[in-house]
Amino acid sequence: MSIYANSRYIASTVVTLPDQDGNDVQAIVPSSPQTYTFNYVYYIVTSADQFRIDQLAYYYYGDATLWWKIGDANPEIMQWDSVTPGTMIRIPNA
């Protein structure tokens, strides 16, 4: 298992552990959380949106796999599949 350079887990460690059947599986052990600040712009969800976080990442970053950056910047949003119109979403470093 390799961790991609643009992954949120880039500073993490990959370990091999036994699963419930005794087979070796690889797992990512996240690094300790770091306090940080970032610049961002707001995106306001409208009723015309067919909102998906990966599409928002593609629009702002040109890469849908970077959706996690938006998720990390908005920890108060727990259900990304049901974001209501009027919700303000922070888009970091856009």
- Structure confidence by residue, pLDDT tens digits, 30-65: 788 777 778 999 999 998 888 899 999 999 999 999
Q: Is 45 helix (H, G, I), strand (E, B) or coil?
A: coil
Distance, CA of 43 to CA of 28 (rounded, Å): 31
Which amino acid makes up residue 90?
R
Distance, CA of 46 to CA of 83 (rounded, Å): 10
| Structural domains of the chain ordered from first start | 1-34 (no CATH), 36-92 (3.10.350)
Confidence of residue 94 (pLDDT cuts 50, 70, 90): low
- Per the structure block, which two tokens stand in for 44? 């306001």
Q: Whole-model pTM? A: 0.66
